[in-house]
Amino acid sequence: AQSVTQLDSHVSVSEGTPVLLRCNYSSSYSPSLFWYVQHPNKGLQLLLKYTSAATLVKGINGFEAEFKKSETSFHLTKPSAHMSDAAEYFCVVSVTGYSTLTFGKGTMLLVSP
Amino acid sequence: ETGVTQSPTHLIKTRGQQVTLRCSSQSGHNTVSWYQQALGQGPQFIFQYYREEENGRGNFPPRFSGLQFPNYSSELNVNALELDDSALYLCASSLSTSGRAHEQFFGPGTRLTVL
């Protein structure tokens, strides 16, 4: 069985400051890990994915995440927040490639001017 | 290229009724997955369809059922609606080749309210 724990339900940052959204995973097998973003009234969008290649993964809109097996973590970072980054972010694990996705509960990112 | 579309966008039903939600997959995709997202929660996997057959199921009762059609569009049916079925229902399509699924693309969802 696999699961993810998103350590913060809400994260507040000021525009231009760094973003850190934390995720720990549990998996019996080598996992694939993803971060998705959900803007209000819009579908989920894939930000980035780790599928056993490079441990530092770069995604869209300046986001990146690092897979740390020893810490079972896959934290999402961005050097400088933008107002348009305000949304809900989901950490996702799969042990079957993209087939069955298990989502965390989400972290709401709030960006203030 | 048309993305994943879902209909209707919103729906209100009463307890005990039945509902059908629809999903049109992205062009070229042959696999459809359905998820339930309760308020304040992450999406939960309901089931997946590949080549018109159920290809994996999450922890949902049999009153949740589905279909996939030859054009790869899909329906989610829920019988005997309960208050806890109120949620956003998300459809995702993907391309599976040689039994391996690729990236899932999500639709905007159908908001179901059960009164």
E strands, B25-109, are 31-37, 44-50, 53-57, 64-68, 74-78, 87-94, 96-97, 100-101, 105-106
Provide the residue type at A96 as one letter.
T
The distance between the two most distant Cα atoms of chain B, rounded to a whole number of Å, is 44
Nearest to B106 among A44, A49, A106 (CB): A44
pLDDT tens profile A7-39: 999 999 999 999 999 999 998 777 889 999 999
Query: Mutating which of B30, B45, B50, B111 best tests the A interface, going by the most A Cβ atoms within 10 A?
Result: B45
Residues 6+ apart with CB under 8 A from B37: B43, B44, B87, B88, B89, B90, B109
Question: Is residue B68's pLDDT more than 90?
Answer: yes
DSSP three-state, residue B85: helix
Beta strands in chain A (DSSP E): 2-6, 10-14, 19-21, 23-27, 32-38, 44-50, 56-58, 64-68, 73-78, 87-94, 102-103, 107-112
CA distances from B111 to A54, B47, B84, B114 (A): 38, 18, 13, 10
What is the pLDDT, as a whole number, of residue A14? 97
Residues of B with CB under 8 A from a CB of A: 3-4, 33, 35, 40-45, 48, 56, 58, 90, 92, 94, 96, 100-109
How far is residue A42 from each of residues A74, B74, B107, measured CA to CA in Å?
A: 24, 20, 8
Neighbours of B114 (CB within 10 A): 19
Q: Which of A44, A101, A105 faces B41 most closely, judged by CB atoms? A: A105
d(CA A25, CA A104): 9
If you search the block for the tokens 């724990």, which residue do you land on? A5
- The answer to whether the CB atoms of B33 and A96 lie below 8 A apart is no
pLDDT digit string, tens, across residues B8-60: 999 999 999 999 999 999 988 999 999 999 998 999 999 999 889 998 899 99
Taking residues B67-90, report their average pLDDT: 96
Smallest Cβ distance to A44: which of B44, B90, B101? B90
Handedness of CA A23, A40, A60, A99 (dihedral sign): positive
Check CB contact of A52 with chain B, cutoff 8 Å: no
Predicted pLDDT of residue B100? 64
Q: What is the pLDDT along chain A (113 residues), one digit of tens a residue?
A: 789 999 999 999 999 999 999 999 998 777 889 999 999 877 899 999 988 778 899 999 999 999 999 999 999 999 999 999 999 999 999 876 556 889 999 999 999 99
Question: What whole-number distance in Å separates Cα of residue A8 and Cα of residue A106?
Answer: 8
Nearest CA in chain A to B6: A43
pLDDT (0 to 100) of residue A42: 79
Tell me if A100 and B48 make a contact (CB, 8 A cut-off). Answer: yes
